[in-house]
Structure 1
Amino acid sequence: MAVLKTTVDNDTKERFHEIALSQGMTEAELLRSVVLMLVDQQEVSADAIVLRPDNTKSSRITVGIPGFLVDAVKTRASSKGMAVSRWVAALVQSNVTGQPVMTDKELLALQASGRELAAIGRNVNQIAKALNIAFEDTDRVKLKLLSELSQVIDDNRSVIRALVRTSQNAWDAD
């Protein structure tokens, strides 16, 4: 994998470190999340990265894993694009809370879906505005097109549900 490097002043480094800790992430994981969001042309803010409940302070737990499982753990963590410790923490979080833990790729897919829904919303707003301006020209709005719009929204919702189900199932025991 490629490596990105930069230099920053000490205050910036310390603030970045504190943000990473508050998110339960390493600096590398936080930086990777920020870079992936930027590459996907999304607005990056501290609020966009908050993924966990208020009590995010990490505690260290030492767990002994039999040697024959270590390679499998490393492989699964790598396949999710996560550090081993983050993958184990996500596995525990998913099993304890019963909620899916989204990977960076899954979060990016959900954010792309959100952009699509926003675009649909803008189109619906334009239709409503056109109808309000010239309500006598309602024949300009084709029912077939509205039906297609409804289908696109339903399809998007199905994709989101499938993504959440897949993410949840990824953390279940095989």
Structure 2
Amino acid sequence: MAVIGAAVDDETKQVFNAIARSRSCTASRLAGVLITDFIKAEQSGVVYTPASSQVPAAAALPVHAGAKTEQVFVRLEPYYYVELGRLATERRWHRSSYVANLLYAHVDKCPVLCQDEVNAVRQVARQLADIGRNVNQIARKLNTSLEHAHVAAAYDFELLRMLLDVETVAVKDLVQANLRHWGVADVY
């Protein structure tokens, strides 16, 4: 994302920051909205006079998706700080990422996966894709001619169903273990 800077005196900066805070957004976001509105007005041929215009309504509403994240500071006793570090290290995250993901798991009631869990899901997806390719090859052989029907009889479809059940259970167990780790009641 490109950055535009502006040199103003300290008083103007303080007033602009105060206005941005009163509208629940950052000074940078407010400036971005003002610049965007200015460009739209210029392109549409409307004379834009910043001194007499009000701040656009779009600048007043914080947007959830794509909005800049906010910081929260939490004081922890030394024991909990060490435990937070241990839990975050298990997932190869920073402490702040762990706390943020803990909140996401509780608010959204959805699993938040670490890299190891994502890799496990990818492995299951690969195995399911392999099974799907095998089933497609069998179906293709049967559709070309019935003389290949003996090939289908050679496959153990009960074993195939068992493998699919194993993979399904593995994914469910992974999701439930993830939710239990975050202390969220099972929703699946």
Aligned to 2:89: 78
Partner amino acid for 2:105? Answer: S
Counterparts in 2 of 1:54 and 1:134: CA distance versus 1, 3 Å: farther
SS of match in other structure, 1:113: helix
User: Unaligned 5+ residue runs, structure 1?
Assistant: 1-52
Aligned to 2:181: 170
User: Unaligned 5+ residue runs, structure 2?
Assistant: 1-63
Aligned to 2:103: 92
Normalized against structure 2, the TM-score is what? 0.59
Percent of aligned positions that are identical:
26
SS of match in other structure, 2:71: coil
**Which of structure 1's runs of 4+ aligned residues deviate more than 3 A?**
53-57
What does 1:7-156 align with in structure 2 at a 5 Å threshold?
54-55=65-66, 57-142=68-153, 145-156=156-167
Partner amino acid for 1:87? Answer: Y
Q: From the CA coordinates, give the structure whose radius of gyration is larger.
A: 2
Partner amino acid for 2:72? Answer: I
Counterparts in 2 of 1:112 and 1:57: CA distance versus 1, 3 Å: farther
Partner amino acid for 2:69? Answer: S
Normalized against structure 1, the TM-score is what? 0.64
Of structures 1 and 2, the one scoring higher in RCO (CA 8 A, sep 6+) is: 1
User: Counterparts of 1:152 and 1:71 in 2: how far apart (Å)?
Assistant: 42
User: Counterparts of 1:56 and 1:82 in 2: how far apart (Å)?
Assistant: 22
User: Counterparts of 2:120 and 2:98 in 1: how far apart (Å)?
Assistant: 19
Aligned to 1:18: none
Query: In the TM superposition, what is the alpha-carbon distance from 1:143 to its structure 2 partner?
Result: 7.0
2:183 counterpart of 1:157: no
